[in-house]
Amino acid sequence: MPKIAEYEYRVQPLDVDFNESIRLTQMIGYLLHAAGRNADANGFGVQQLQRQGTTWVASRLALEMYRYPKTNELFRIETWIEDYGRVFTNRNFKLTDASGTMIGAGSSIWCMMDMNERKAVDLSLTDCSQFVTGIPCLIKKAARVPALSGEPVSRHRVKYSDIDFNRHTNSMKYIEWMTDLFPLELYQQREVRRIDINYVNEVLFGEKVDIVREQQKPDGCLFEMRRDTAIICRASMQFDGCFDLMENK
């Protein structure tokens, strides 16, 4: 199996928003699907790992989009493993349109989790060296997002539709909760250019998540999700231009 895998996708009508552009959550969903396909082909996909009582869990993720593909448009995702250490492995992505023009790129950090003990597995016990490329990501790596001290602007109770096969909140749901906090008018004028998200703790069915949002820059916001005093995740979302949330309240 090639160290750099390429997969072709077509944007489905259910993937797009009112601009007929693929939604951010769906775009990241395709990235994770490509990562899963490549892991399956190389023998360490989720189904293989779950038979051993382990699974993959995202730790950090970054995506930059220069253009969002439209309804029924073909696009391709290349993905490869840059390196891996005792706890974390780095997987990168390149997105191109049908003409081969790069429309986006991504960076992700993963750990392998013991599903019973809910803690990280030592990756040095698994020989993945044959799949490592050493090829760096095409954007700035997924960044550490700073802590916030503000008050929550929203609260979400985790429901059945939020839970994935790992029996915790699906990673896309955090992004969905964040994007839903912006007014529709903003999406009529702006697009998300980059998102960085740090996953800190898992959230289970029935738990309540408080969401803090602060606009610290003219073109972006920071987010922090909390369960009581525990930090669930932090994120940074940058748009393709300046905006003022106070104007659209």
What pLDDT digit, counting tens, does each position of 92-118 carry? 999 999 999 999 999 999 877 666 777
What pLDDT digit, counting tens, does each position of 199-248 carry? 998 899 999 999 999 998 999 999 999 999 899 999 999 999 999 887 55
C-alpha to C-alpha distance for 168 and 171, rounded to whole angstroms: 9
Flag whether pLDDT at 132 surpasses 70. Answer: yes
Read off the pTM. Answer: 0.89
Residue predicted with more confidence, 86 or 242: 242
| pLDDT in the model for residue 230 | 94
The listed CATH number (3.40.50.80, 3.90.550.10, 3.30.565.10, 3.10.129.10) that belongs to domain 143-249: 3.10.129.10
Question: Does this chain's domain 1-142 share its CATH topology with 143-249?
Answer: yes
The stretches of the chain forming alpha helices (DSSP H) are 24-41, 46-50, 171-179, 184-189
C-alpha to C-alpha distance for 195 and 31, rounded to whole angstroms: 14
The CATH class of the 1-142 domain is alpha beta
Domain boundaries, the chain: 1-142, 143-249
What pLDDT digit, counting tens, does each position of 12-37 carry? 999 999 999 999 999 999 999 998 88
Nearest to 60 by CA among 200, 192, 166: 200
Inter-residue contact 3 to 81 (CB < 8 Å) = yes
